[in-house]
Structure 1
Amino acid sequence: MKKKEMERRLQLEALDSYDEELELEQEDRPFDSTGAEIELSADERLARRGYFAQLLRLQGELVNLQDWVVATGHKVVILFEGRDAAGKGGVIKRITQRLNPRVCRVAALPAPNDRERTQWYFQRYVQHLPAAGEIVLFDRSWYNRAGVERVMGFCSDEQYEEFFRTVPEFEKMLVRSGIQLVKYWFSISDEEQHLRFLSRIRDPLKQWKLSPMDLESRRRWEAYTRAKEVMLERTHIPEARWWVVQADDKKAARLNCIDHLLSLMPYAEVPHAPVELPARVRNKDYTRRPVPPEFFVPEKY
């Protein structure tokens, strides 16, 4: 392959990798669920380009952060909390999209089973904590007890109060052990959650995101508000303070959260030796065997 052709292929390969971001942006793309194009104004198109430019820049910094975490053995835990449809999953996807899943992983625990309900409340979360050189993102966390469990009546008053007695000491222990703990609350308005729920109902690609629990949480908006206010007041400690992300604009929320997260990390760019691709070994006695036709996936596209 000629050098000019090789350079062009490399450019196209890079473009393909960035198209993955467009795939993740299904809810924000200028297409509806049937693939029909939605007309965007010139200002809207310009804003989208600006968003992607900033996101790719921040993701490049996240790669630098990852390298530094591995090189220094730093340990990071990031909690993402907020109402249903607040955008926690969206920012988690953008943080992890270009990182090594062996370094940066997501813990999204299901409801506890019968055995876990008899354990110390924090026990099932402890096994997901990071070792040296790891970042763990909790998509909801032990704060379930202060939120959904409180509002839905899944815990007793005694368990609720014990949580508030224990969680500050638990988090102080994590910090003393060398874990950097960051806690985010994604805040959306009543009107914005209503709009996002309607969007999920209308879009068959999003309907799976709506559970009966989500719909019930919508009805109990005010109860969740009271629970959130108590939680922030009683668990905001110097060792592990809360940070509130204004999330009515989901794209701005992603950029603001990632930028803020980077600002909390004392990372620096880690120098790397130049990477050189070694020449492939070619043996004269090697013959590649043909693959039987029935092994191939039909090429419909």
Structure 2
Amino acid sequence: MARGIKGQNKAGDYESFSLDAKKLPAEIRDRAFTSGGYPYDSKFDREDYDKRIHELQIELLKLHAWTRDTGARIVIVFEGRDASGKGGTIARFLQHMPPRTARAVALSKPSEAEQGQWYFQRYVSAMPTRGDIVLFDRSWYNRAAVEPVNGFCTKDQCKAFLKEAPTFERMLIRDGIYLFKIFLDVGHEMQLKRLWARHQDPLKLWKLSPIDFKAVHQWPAYSRAFSRMFKKTDTDDAPWTVILANDKLRTRIAALQIVLSRIDYAGKDTELVGHPDLKIVGDGRLFIDRY
């Protein structure tokens, strides 16, 4: 994939910011959409989006039918910063697909028994059987960022994971699994705006966890952890694709295009699928250049 994505994504100085603030500070509100060097200054047109997502979801159903007919197995890993839009993007993938054969996996923290197992074991049990599609809402990559940043694993455990993950993924691919790794990145101000909005909305409070509250002031630590993750796990066999996700509508379209454009399924409308927007989509190595 072309490198794409330009600009920097430096953290602002918001040490005193709290999600309990009654009003979102004007500097965060005004900078949010274009934060992190986002290349657009306005949202994707809603009418155009509705038409485009409808077209791409029809293509997804073609992909699903091909998967069932051929016995293919597809795994799509979604990682990214807190409030980057992973859940909403996954929902658009699954909106019209049969839930028995296309499903999301969002594992909670490991049980005591799971903590005594091989780290990848509980993820292996969630892999698809013939004809199924599985989307991971966070994945084994918890050990690359969330766990080390929050002290849930040791440095040695993180180091071992980063060494073993590429081998684990090569095993999946050699066994015939189509593996996609998609990372959603947002600017610092956009992340703060979204986290604050969740905290203010009683219908979205469930989305917030103690980890999210801590993330408000952990931007540099996460940036370092993600950069290290990309250096070690962005491989030729299983490359990362990064989407700048400040605009949720553009993000969802790009994510669908990433998957649809890389598989030659029956009945594919190549012209309609098109190619992801290289202003907001790039390869994993590019993340490192942004921080």
Q: Tell me the TM-score normalized by structure 1.
A: 0.73
Residue 210 (structure 1) aligned to one of 197, 204, 208: 208
Residue 166 of structure 1 pairs with residue 164 of structure 2: yes
CA contact (8 A) 1:80 1:138 kept: yes
The aligned runs of 1:123-272 (5 Å cut-off) are 123-269=121-267
2:98 is matched with which residue?
A: 100
Question: Are the aligned partners of 1:236 and 1:242 in contact in 2 as well (CA < 8 Å)?
Answer: yes
Match of 1:88 among 78, 86, 89: 86
CA-to-partner distance for each residue in 1:146-198, whole Å, 9 max, x for gaps?
01001011111111111012111110000000001100000100010011012
How far apart in 1 are the matches of 2:86 and 2:229?
18
User: Offset of 1:217 from its aligned partner?
Assistant: 1.4
For 2:47, the equivalent position in structure 1 comes to 49
The alignment yields a C-alpha RMSD, in angstroms, of 1.5
Rate the CA distance shift 1:45–1:172 in 2: closer, same or farther, 3 A: closer
TM-score, normalised to structure 2, is 0.76
- Helix, strand or coil for the counterpart of 2:107? coil
- The amino acid that maps onto 1:179 is I
**Letter of the 2:186 counterpart:** I
Partner of 2:67: 69
Q: Report the Cα offset of residue 46 of structure 1.
A: 9.4
Alpha-carbon distance change, 201 to 151 in structure 1, aligned in 2, over 3 angstroms: same
Deviations 1:250-299 (A, max 9, x none): 111001111121001121129xxxxxxxxxxxxxxxxxxxxxxxxxxxxx
Q: 1:3 maps to which residue?
A: none
- Counterparts of 2:263 and 2:44, CA distance in 1: 31
Q: Could you tell me which residue of structure 2 aligns to residue 122 of structure 1? A: 120
Distance 1:45 1:173 in 2: 40
Structure 1 runs (4+) deviating above 3 angstroms are none
From the CA coordinates, give the structure whose radius of gyration is larger.
1
CA-CA distance at 1:94 after TM superposition: 0.4
Which position in structure 2 is the counterpart of 1:273?
A: none
Deviations 1:88-127 (A, max 9, x none): 0001000001001112111100000111111000000000
Q: Give the letter aligned to residue 128 of structure 1.
A: A
Maintained 8 Å contact 1:67/1:269: no
SS of residue paired to 2:112: coil
Contact kept? 2:82, 2:212, Cα under 8 Å: yes
In structure 2, the CA distance between the partners of 1:45 and 1:162, relative to structure 1 (3 Å rule), is closer
Q: Where in structure 1 are there 5+ consecutive unaligned residues?
A: 1-43, 271-301
Q: 1:238 to 1:63 in 2, by over 3 A?
A: same
Distance 1:157-1:61 versus aligned 2 partners, 3 A rule: same
Unaligned runs of 5+ in 2: 1-41, 269-291
Partner residue of 2:22? none
